[in-house]
Amino acid sequence: MQTPAEKKVTTMSSHGYHSDPYATSGGGQYDPYAVQSDPYAADPYAAQAGYSAPQHYPAGGGYVQPPPTNTMALLSLIMSLVGIATGGMTSILGIIFGHIGRKQIKRTGEGGDQMALWGLIVGYVVLGLWILFWIVYILIIVGMFGLAIWGSQATTY
């Protein structure tokens, strides 16, 4: 004979009797808050392996902060690039800032020498292209007026 705790609990539904899925067949009521032990889990109270005494590292291996970037070098690159859109006008400032920045970097040891160099290169190239553009533009305008004048002076017999 089974004790009341060992009997499966059955309930009545519209389809008839069915077993309670949470009832146990040999061990009392189901407790949803009961902690189930995992047979494969590690013992939480076992000594923790892998920890050792703190290690001491030799001096001199710390973080070295890089020198600050020269502001003139940054402005040189920015002004030279903006010169593409401004007809080369700010490229002149980029070239000036680039020369000043490289001189300051050599004197103070700041960072940004490559940035100043690229500001100079881009500034000279952009300024040269804009000067070439304006020379060609003026030659085309002068040529058109020259052709118009030459064409109006031609006589027909």
Phi-psi region of 89 (alpha: psi -120 to 50; beta: other; left: phi over 0): alpha
Phi/psi for 11 (5° steps) reads -125, 165
pLDDT digits (tens, 9 = 90+) for 57-115: 666 667 888 899 999 999 999 999 999 999 899 999 999 999 999 999 999 999 999 99
pLDDT digits (tens, 9 = 90+) for 40-70: 766 666 666 666 667 666 666 678 888 999 9
Q: What is the pLDDT of residue 43?
A: 66
Rounded CA separation 110/30 (Å): 73
Choose among 33, 38, 109, 22: nearest CA to 73: 109
In Å, the largest CA–CA distance within the chain is 140
Report DSSP state, residue 106.
H
Rounded CA separation 131/136 (Å): 9
